[in-house]
Amino acid sequence: MASIPHPPHAVLVPFPSQGHVNPLMHFAKLLAARGFFVTFINTNWMEHRIFKAPNDAAALSHQLQHQGLQIRFLALPDGLPPDHRRAQAMVEYFQAMQKSGPAMVRLLQSVGNVEVPPITCIVSSCFMSCTLQVATSLAVPRVVFWTYCTSAAIVLANCRMLVEKGYIPINLKEARRPENLITCLPGNIPPLWPTDLPTAFRVEDTADSTFQLMMYESEIQDKADYVLINVFEELEGPQAAEGLSKGYPALPIGPRLP
């Protein structure tokens, strides 16, 4: 008698902030509705912010099972003290997340059992570079889910090129000179002034600690096996997603809303 094949098993890992958790949660439901088993990993701190008794993670998982959606929730410590400001101290917050790969691997290995299908892939929101180590340790593909619009994601993915071409660091007094208009970004996105860049990139010194974190995260995104973008093609044009295709497919699948 032939054995019943396992359903695909996606591990979803959002950066622990509401703007990343929400779209990943809606994407988790979308995958589960199409037959995936989903493991959703939060930090303990984020889980306590999301779930309030009696509606805790276990209760939500049970409720979703009644809807035919197989989603389990796991949580791991972020390595910061309980009274840490986290979102108000973003450098330390990012650094803590960058170190959480080994703990995530141990968590996934410790909760595996015969009732849980083998892990098929890791899907992480941008800025979770630690999942590269997780995917490598588990020998599965890593999918990066950009929660930003495509244009912002393209800027983030090409920050080193912007440095090499002299657009960063920014001299605010000269930023609006015609020669500083950014036209080199892929994806057929409109020209940008340096002052149009995301806040973390509008720096006058590339040694800025937040900018250095963004540079590191940007380079790790390039090691993805697949990229998903939380937009729809008509919003930014059919060529926008191609601007994020660096040897791997990029697909707009959004917006992931309730």
Q: DSSP states of 161-202 as a string?
A: HHHHTT-SS--TTTTTSGGG-B---SSSPPPB-GGGS-GGG-
Helix/strand/coil for 125: strand
Tokens of 232: 């729809």
Instruction: List beta partners, residue 226.
Output: 143
Looking at residue 114, its pLDDT comes to: 65
Looking at residue 1, its pLDDT comes to: 45
Return the percentage of the chain with pLDDT > 90, whole number: 53
Amino acid letter for position 118: P
Per-domain boundaries in the chain: 1-147
Looking at residue 101, its pLDDT comes to: 96
Query: pLDDT tens-digit profile of 112-155?
Result: 666 889 999 999 998 999 999 999 999 999 999 998 888 889 99
Which residue would you say has higher pLDDT here, 242 or 42? 42
Q: Per-residue confidence at 258, pLDDT binned at 50, 70, 90?
A: low
Q: Per-residue confidence at 232, pLDDT binned at 50, 70, 90?
A: confident
Query: pLDDT tens-digit profile of 1-29?
Result: 455 578 999 999 999 998 899 999 999 99
Helix/strand/coil for 100: coil
CB 104 within 8 A of CB 75: no
Mean pLDDT of the chain: 89
pTM above 0.85, yes or no: yes
Highest mean pLDDT among 10-24, 42-56, 226-240: 10-24
| Cα 183 to Cα 59, 152, 157, 180, 202, distances in angstroms | 50, 14, 15, 9, 17
Q: How far apart are the first and last CA of the chain?
A: 41
| Cα 155 to Cα 26, 95, 167, 191, 229, distances in angstroms | 25, 22, 12, 11, 14
Interatomic CA distance for residues 127 and 214, integer angstroms: 8
Tokens of 22: 């929400």
Looking at residue 112, its pLDDT comes to: 67
Return the percentage of the chain with pLDDT > 70, whole number: 96
Q: What angle do CA 49, 54, 57 make, to 5 degrees?
A: 55
Does residue 239 carry a pLDDT above 50?
yes
Cβ neighbours, 10 Å, residue 214: 19
Looking at residue 54, its pLDDT comes to: 62
| Cα 138 to Cα 40, 54, 98, 108, 183, distances in angstroms | 16, 34, 17, 9, 40
Looking at residue 87, its pLDDT comes to: 81
Query: Rounded mean pLDDT of 62-78?
Result: 88
Give the CATH fold of the 1-147 domain. Answer: Rossmann fold (3.40.50)
CB 195 within 8 A of CB 170: yes
Query: Rounded mean pLDDT of 101-110?
Result: 94
Helix/strand/coil for 55: strand
Which residue would you say has higher pLDDT here, 153 or 59? 153
Looking at residue 234, its pLDDT comes to: 87
Query: Rounded mean pLDDT of 195-224?
Result: 90
Tokens of 240: 């926008």
Highest mean pLDDT among 97-106, 193-202, 211-220, 222-231: 97-106
Does residue 163 carry a pLDDT above 90?
yes
Sign of CA dihedral 80, 45, 103, 88: negative
Amino acid letter for position 74: L
Helix/strand/coil for 1: coil
